[in-house]
Amino acid sequence: MITYLVRRTALLLASLSLASVVLFLLLRFLPGDPVNALLSVGATDAQIEAARRELGTNEPVAAQFLSWLGDAVTFDLGRSLISNLAVGPEIAARLPVTVPLTLAGFVLAVLIAVPVGFLAAYRAEKWDGPLLNGVAQFGLAVPAFWLGLLLVTIFALNLRVLPAGGFPPAGWSDPAAAATALTLPVVTVALVMSASLIRYVRAATLDVLGSDFLRTARALGSSLPAAMWRHGLRNAAAPVIAVLAIELATTFLGAVVIESVFALPGLGSMLTRAIAQRDYPVIQGVMLVSTFAVLAVGFLGDVAQRVADPRLLRGRS
**Site residues (vs another protein, CB under 8 A):** 31-33, 36-45, 47-48, 50-51, 54, 82-85, 90, 93-94, 108, 111-112, 115-116, 118-119, 122-123, 149, 152, 156-157, 160-167, 169, 171, 176, 179-180, 183, 187, 260-266, 269-270, 272-273, 278
Q: Is 31 helix (H, G, I), strand (E, B) or coil?
A: coil
Output 95 or 142, the one with its CB closest to another protein.
95
**CB of 187 or CB of 297, closer to another protein:** 187
Neighbours of 40 (CB within 10 A): 8
Half-sphere exposure of 169 (CA within 13 A, CB side): 0
Q: How far is the CB of 54 from another protein (least distance, A)?
A: 7
Evaluate whether 156 touches 188 at the Cβ level (below 8 Å): no
In whole angstroms, the minimum distance from the beta carbon of 137 to another protein comes to 19
Output the smallest distance, CB 269 to another protein, in A.
Answer: 5
- Cβ neighbours for 140, distance < 8 A, ≥ 6 positions apart: 195, 196, 199
Shortest reach from residue 3's CB to another protein, in Å: 43
Distance CA 118, CA 84 (A): 52
Q: Which is nearest to 284 in space by CA: 15, 5, 77?
A: 77
Q: Which is nearer to another protein, 54 or 59 (CB)?
A: 54
Phi, psi of 79 (to 5 degrees): -120, 145
- For another protein, the closer CB: 266 or 301: 266
Minimum distance of another protein from residue 172's CB (angstroms): 12
Phi (first) and psi of residue 123, to 5 degrees: -105, 30
* Beta carbon nearer to another protein, 22 or 150: 150
